[in-house]
Amino acid sequence: MTILVIAEHTNAALAPATLNTVAAAAKIGGDIHVLVAGAACGPVAEAAGKIAGVAKVLVADDAAFAHQLPENVAPLIAELGKGYSHILAAATSNGKNILPRVAAALDVDQISEIIAVESADTFKRPIYAGNAIATVQSSAAVKVITVRSTGFDPVAAEGGSAAVEAVGGATDAGKSAFVGEELAKSDRPELTAAKIVVSGGRGMQNGDNFKHLYALADKLGAAVGASRAAVDAGFVPNDMQVGQTGKIVAPQLYIAVGISGAIQHLAGMKDSKVIVAINKDEEAPIFQVADYGLVADLFDAVPELEKLV
């Protein structure tokens, strides 16, 4: 049994979610190979080779793979993946975009966002915004799976010494082209990897008021997130959304500020170790999941909290 893990990366650096995906592969058991598909992605291949428990790194270095266009990358993965028992990718926007295309090309079902490995063919995954957990079993020859990072502690980034092998294959399918991107720049930790997350909701009233949360986050070394309501209202950009259809986080400490606690938001953060809710409405559903609730006006409480921590 050999498992192919698709590396998540920026061509320059390996993304931490890859380490959680390798951890899921290790739970399944068997040899683990990592595929790095990209352009000028040498540093990523080198980093992938050092991941603890990885036996081999396959590198497909081609301009067609620079922006992870699924029309180009999926045929490559499907071709390489035929000989493997499992193909795993992180359930990031990139993994979600590419992997179902791979599964259909291989004529197998995909299992999305697993949170636990029961055995080599049986997995647990949340459905209905996390209000139910399904245990599913796959009889597919190649099991194609995306992995929710919060379900698996990352393996060590160092300690391995895997051989690196260049592979070729499908290139530009000619169906799609990269036009551009607007990436958020931030000195704060990445939302899904942060130990502490401070999130704001509709109660923040406007985007400018998020400065209170940024000040608190900087003092705590935290990332800043938001509810769908805050993103839809245009307070902050979409990449900050935590919830069923945004990012799934499970930090040590989650501070929800001015967030009522819709089930769609809870789906994205209820596995956090400690949850703090600050809301002036004492009936807000967020208090039903909070370890520590503070009924207060956030515009008084947040600056005071920033001073005291």
Q: Work out whether the CA dihedral 225, 231, 236, 239 comes out positive or negative.
A: positive
Q: Please state whether beta strands 2-6 and 86-90 pair in parallel, antiparallel, or not at all (unpaired).
A: parallel
Which is closer to another protein, CB of 206 or CB of 252?
252
What's the closest the beta carbon of residue 61 comes to another protein, in angstroms?
21
Which is closer to another protein, CB of 68 or CB of 209?
68
52 φ/ψ angles, rounded to the nearest 5 degrees = -60, 130
Q: How far apart are the first and last CA of the chain?
A: 50
Which is closer to another protein, CB of 164 or CB of 295?
295
What's the closest the beta carbon of residue 156 comes to another protein, in angstroms?
23
Which is closer to another protein, CB of 25 or CB of 74?
74
CA distance 293 to 295: 6
What's the closest the beta carbon of residue 84 comes to another protein, in angstroms?
15
Q: Which amino acid is at 284?
A: A
Which pair of structure tokens corresponds to residue 36? 């790095």
Q: Indicate the DSSP class of residue 216.
A: H
Which is closer to another protein, CB of 100 or CB of 154?
100
What's the closest the beta carbon of residue 111 comes to another protein, in angstroms?
6
Which residues contact residue 149 at a Cβ distance below 8 angstroms, ignoring those fewer than 6 apart?
A: 16, 17, 20, 21, 90, 91, 192, 248
What's the closest the beta carbon of residue 130 comes to another protein, in angstroms?
6
140 φ/ψ angles, rounded to the nearest 5 degrees = -70, 145
168 φ/ψ angles, rounded to the nearest 5 degrees = -115, -150
Which is closer to another protein, CB of 165 or CB of 291?
291
Which is closer to another protein, CB of 49 or CB of 81?
81
What's the closest the beta carbon of residue 177 comes to another protein, in angstroms?
5
Helix (H, G, I), strand (E, B) or coil at 117: strand
Q: Which amino acid is at 127?
A: I
What's the closest the beta carbon of residue 89 comes to another protein, in angstroms?
12
CA distance 240 to 209: 15
Which pair of structure tokens corresponds to residue 6? 């698709």
| Bridge partners of residue 58, in order along the sequence | 35, 165
